[in-house]
Structure 1
Amino acid sequence: MGQRSPGRPALSAPSCREPAFRVTGTVRIGVIPTASAAAADIASPLSVRHPLVSLHRRLVVGRHRRPTRSLRTRRGITYLDHDVLEHYRCFPLYEERYVLLTADDPTVPRRAEISWHEASAPMYATVDHARPPILDEHFAEDGTHLNARIETDSVATLYAHVKTGQWSAVVPSMWSTVFGEPPGLRCTPLTENLPAPVVGLITRLDGPSSILVEALEETASTLNRTSSESPINQ
């Protein structure tokens, strides 16, 4: 549980600029696999502001949009859909867009983008958490569907499968900035046929927030890239 120096008030917006050593402890969050890279975007500035605060991240797997259905958690990083907005404090981080990850074939010219219909042809591996409904909605909008042959809760595992040359995968474009384009692989942006889902930090509305959660919320509030010309995942 978070601690602060005796006699100090709870963390508030003005007090966030006070010496960070007054906030200590471990804050735990659940994170969906496709957004796990976003935990690093929070952890880095959080550690700068509060060097004695640790962030414990737990991946939440399963066919659900948000961690609260799979894990008893009061905070997490997930999709900010309507149900979440009604029951949680929400701090948008980025808009999730997608690329088609394939083996690189030098004989095939690169393209600026590819349609979801075209992308449905190869054999697929996919992150289990991402479907349904997120990817299914995009494929359905283009009049097709995705028949994944391999499902995993690890984005890194997707890259490993695609590397064999037998598989393709739809991956959030954030991961193409994390891993780059490894030798032998190619990332092609998918057309934006639906509004991009927003991913963000959620914390429970009910009950008072601890000083740790307030520090986490204050940090996340500075990272909103959903209206920026250069989103956090691009």
Structure 2
Amino acid sequence: MIEKLEFLIAVAKEKSFSRAAETCGVTQPTLSAGVKQLEDTLGVLLVNRSSRFHGLTAEGERVLEWAKRIVGDARAMRQEVRTLKEGLSGQLKIAVIPTALGIVSALTTPYREKHPGVRFSILSASSAEVLSMLDNLEIDAGITYLDNEPLGRVRAVPLCAERYRLLTFADNPLGDRDRVTWEEVARIDLCLLTPDMQNRRIVERLLRDAGAEPAPILESNSVILLFDHVKSGRWATILPEKLAKTLGVAAPLRAIPIVEPEAVHKIGLVAPLRDPVIPLVAALVAEAKKLADSRILGD
């Protein structure tokens, strides 16, 4: 039954029987037969289909919610039993928004010291992708914004505050300033993250509030690419303060505080709202709480 529920979750996510089969590591006939057996067991049609996937039925959508809960609990049970026998081990999958990548090591390093049997898989993803992967059981936890857009039903632990800096060369426009306003930043050419990134949406709102319609001369989903362009001396961007420090800002490059208003957003760990908690995730949540209490990452 658990395997068939996993098939349904994969079909709903991939919207394709062939891709779902590949994800589950089975043949398409095996997956299709598994979904059909699940339908026969429950006595309802779960998937609208002919030769192709055409979405879930109303009953299928409801069963999908139960499937995620049951599969998540089954995985938690298996991991807890293994932990009782072998200690904490296995792979911990975490998805992180690009602007928060600079804080991840402050969480994973002490975790690894306490639990050397655990391996990490860290993915860079947009905030929407973080929540989607969490909901689809593709990751164990995520790091994202907590206070800007809806999170849904998750367990959240605040880690730090995100404040913004203008990254530019000292001889570029505004480059000689100790601080700048959003209104001033709105008047210069910028390279920014792509619109699918929540950081971009935050920055756009702040620029619009300052009276400008954002029109970046370059956009990318990679903060490394933005930073590399700024280092060339001809570009400017807006990045969080902690990320700028992680990337390394040295003269003649400058990271200038943006004020009026001094915008602040909370970054934190999100995990499934499930009891009992998977042991790997429970240890991560505990580490996140210690990190938040230590103030290592600041307010």
TM-score (norm 1): 0.80
Residue 111 of structure 1 is matched in structure 2 by 177
Name the aligned partner's letter for residue 23 of structure 1: L
Aligned counterparts of 2:121 and 2:128: Cα–Cα separation in 1: 21
Q: Any gaps of 5 or more consecutive residues in structure 2?
A: 1-74
Cα drift, residue 57 of structure 1: 0.6
Cα drift, residue 96 of structure 1: 0.4
Aligned counterparts of 1:180 and 1:233: Cα–Cα separation in 2: 18
Name the aligned partner's letter for residue 161 of structure 1: H
Out of 217, 235, 241, the position equivalent to 1:149 is 217
Cα drift, residue 194 of structure 1: 5.7
Residue 278 of structure 2 is matched in structure 1 by 210
Cα drift, residue 189 of structure 1: 0.6
SS at match of 1:37: helix
Residue 153 of structure 2 is matched in structure 1 by 87
Instruction: Kindly report structure 1 stretches of 4+ aligned residues shifted beyond 6 Å.
Output: 106-109
Distance 1:148 1:65, change over 3 A: farther
Residue 23 of structure 1 is matched in structure 2 by 88
Distance 1:31 1:107, change over 3 A: closer
Alignment of 1:27-66 (within 5 A): 27-61=92-126, 64=127
SS at match of 1:208: coil
Cα drift, residue 74 of structure 1: 4.7
Work out which structure has the larger RCO, using CA pairs closer than 8 Å and 6 or more positions apart in sequence.
1
Distance 1:148 1:69, change over 3 A: farther
Distance 1:224 1:124, change over 3 A: same
Cα drift, residue 48 of structure 1: 1.6
Cα drift, residue 161 of structure 1: 0.6
Verify: 1:67 aligned to 2:130, yes or no: yes
Cα drift, residue 143 of structure 1: 2.2
Name the aligned partner's letter for residue 277 of structure 2: S
**Range with bigger deviation, 139-148 or 168-177:** 139-148
Name the aligned partner's letter for residue 162 of structure 1: V
Name the aligned partner's letter for residue 164 of structure 1: S
Aligned counterparts of 2:261 and 2:118: Cα–Cα separation in 1: 41
- Alignment check: 8 A CA contact 2:140 2:281 kept: no
TM-score (norm 2): 0.64
Residue 191 of structure 2 is matched in structure 1 by 125
Cα drift, residue 207 of structure 1: 5.2
Out of 168, 184, 192, the position equivalent to 2:236 is 168
Aligned counterparts of 2:285 and 2:121: Cα–Cα separation in 1: 15
Aligned counterparts of 1:108 and 1:139: Cα–Cα separation in 2: 16
Distance 1:132 1:187, change over 3 A: closer
Verify: 1:221 aligned to 2:289, yes or no: yes
SS at match of 2:291: coil
Q: More helix by proportion, 1 or 2?
A: 2
Aligned length: 214
Verify: 1:4 aligned to 2:83, yes or no: yes
Q: CA RMSD in A?
A: 2.8
Cα drift, residue 148 of structure 1: 1.2
Distance 1:206 1:216, change over 3 A: same
Aligned counterparts of 1:5 and 1:143: Cα–Cα separation in 2: 58
Distance 1:232 1:224, change over 3 A: same
Greater CA radius of gyration, 1 or 2?
2
Out of 125, 139, 144, the position equivalent to 1:78 is 144
Distance 1:106 1:138, change over 3 A: closer
SS at match of 1:48: helix
Deviations 1:27-77 (A, max 9, x none): 10111111111211211111122122122111114xx55611477445200
SS at match of 1:223: helix
- Alignment check: 8 A CA contact 2:187 2:212 kept: no
Distance 1:116 1:66, change over 3 A: farther
Instruction: Report the identity percentage.
Output: 27
